């Protein structure tokens, strides 16, 4: 939630290196140190699928999903590099070669990528370290944990209000996530501690 509000305030997605260098508010991720070690700390990550929807479980990176049209890749600044990982960088080995980490050609990517393969991530290196929201509009899918915060307030309502009222140059449209049959997120959120719910939704 904290990082998502920073994105709205800044008008787009940012590399975590940019966020750290500029002292912006964010939530630490378990992959932070490995991404620094692997030299991708100053890049922007995009999943090519909605992991929550495809896996039918909550996304470990948080309850806020920013949804982009693929055409945004056609409008990136000059000198921008777009790469696709062969596997999630948290599973990279320091001895891996570039060809073991990244797809090297469009044909190779087309042969191996499958919809729903979560390990294959878009990694964008752009001079500004920022991916602007198109036309200053952001579409957000927000989980509803069906829980209350430690304050007693409904977690979804609080989170939606926080995102809506965030000072931002962006017009944010927020939709409640509609889970597919068999999704386990409600059970997973029910098992989270009050402290964890507070972190996710405040």
The Cβ-side half-sphere exposure at 61, using a 13 Å CA radius, reads 15
**Residue 21 confidence (pLDDT):** 98
The closest of 71, 25, 8, 120 to 16, measured between CA atoms, is 25
Q: What residue numbers bound the domain in which 158 lies?
A: 2-201
How would you classify the pairing of strands 137-142 and 171-176? Answer: parallel
Take residue 129 and report the two structure tokens written for it. 């370290």
Cβ pair 102, 86 in contact under 8 A:
yes
CA distances from 30 to 27, 61, 66, 160, 198 (A): 10, 9, 20, 25, 18
Q: What sign does the dihedral 196-199-201-202 (CA atoms) show? A: positive
What parts of the chain have a pLDDT lower than 50?
none
Number of folded domains that form the chain: 1
CA distance linking residue 66 with residue 37, whole number of Å? 26
**Stated length of the chain:** 202
**Residue 119 confidence (pLDDT):** 81
């Amino acid at each position: 939630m904290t990082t998502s509000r920073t994105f709205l305030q800044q008008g787009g997605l940012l590399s975590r290196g940019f966020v750290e260098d500029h002292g912006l508010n964010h939530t630490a991720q378990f992959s932070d140190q490995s991404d620094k070690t692997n030299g991708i700390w100053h890049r922007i990550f995009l999943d090519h699928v909605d992991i929550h929807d495809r896996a039918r479980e909550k996304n470990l990176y948080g309850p806020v999903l920013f949804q982009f049209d693929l055409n945004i890749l056609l409008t990136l600044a000059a000198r921008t590099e777009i790469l696709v990982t062969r596997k999630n960088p948290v599973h990279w080995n320091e001895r891996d070669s570039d060809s073991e980490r990244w797809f090297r050609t469009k044909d190779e990517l087309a042969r191996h990528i499958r919809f729903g393969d979560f390990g294959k991530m878009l990694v964008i290196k752009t001079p500004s370290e920022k991916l602007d929201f198109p036309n200053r509009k952001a579409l957000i899918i927000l989980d509803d944990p069906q829980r209350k915060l430690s304050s007693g307030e409904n977690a979804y309502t609080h989170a939606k209000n926080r995102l809506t009222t965030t000072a931002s140059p962006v017009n944010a449209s927020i939709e409640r996530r509609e889970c597919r049959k068999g999704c386990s997120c409600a059970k997973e959120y029910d098992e989270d501690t009050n402290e964890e719910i507070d972190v996710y939704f405040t």
